[in-house]
Amino acid sequence: MSKFFGILILSAFFLSCSSDLDFNQAKDVKSEPVVVLNLATFDVPANEFVVNGAEQNVAGDILNFDVFRDTYFNDSLRRTDFYFEIDNTINRAYRINLYLLDANNSPLYTIPFDVPAYSGVRNLVTKTEIFEKAKLDQLKKTKKIAFGIAMLPGPALSENSLGSLKLRSSATVYFVVE
């Protein structure tokens, strides 16, 4: 009699059914995350363009930007958008250049901005740079980023001048992870 029960239980295993499964699908796994992050931020008050009573018509800085040293990051990168937003509240026009530099400080790519003087009305200067394909390859060689600001002629600034030159910038990074 116990055999009967044994068979009953075992048959539960062998008569059990399963839908058709395909574990090979796991090979197709792929994700395409899109990450947004701050790329750059600055806010230079008008009085910083005046040192000891004299206008400083050029300013700049070079910063390291070696995110592309990671090969896994590089391989998964498909596209990168840089978005810039410049809000000038100084009564002077500016020419701003952002330079992507390689390891030898040679420019790979330049992003220029013409920023008009403030006239009492907010005037946002925006720009989107999309790096894909060959342009993305240029970006991947970037090791440093330099900012250059040239103040264009206009009404004189003093240490008491109001306003600032403000930049907010974001990056939108598109990955394909397989």
**Cα dist from 89 to 43, 46, 168, whole Å:** 11, 9, 14
For another protein, which is the closer residue by CB, 6 or 112? 6
Is 175 a binder of another protein (CB under 8 A)?
A: yes
Smallest separation (angstroms) from another protein to the CB of 123: 18
DSSP assignment of 82-150 equals EEEEEEE-SSS-EEEEEEEE-TTS-EEEEEEEEEPPP-SS--EEEEEEEEEHHHHHHHHT--EEEEEEE
Q: Out of 50, 65, 91, 97, which residue is the one contacting another protein (CB under 8 A)?
A: 65
Number of residues that bind another protein (CB under 8 A): 60
Stretch that binds another protein, among 3-11, 110-118, 130-138, 153-161 (CB under 8 A): 3-11
Q: Could you tell me if 138 and 100 are in contact, meaning their C-beta atoms sit under 8 angstroms apart?
A: yes
Is 43 a binder of another protein (CB under 8 A)?
A: yes
> What are the structure tokens assigned to 102, written together?
């390689």
Which residues lie near another protein (CB under 8 A)? Answer: 1-2, 5-6, 8-10, 12-23, 25-26, 28-31, 33-44, 48, 59-67, 83, 85, 145, 147, 149, 168-173, 175, 177
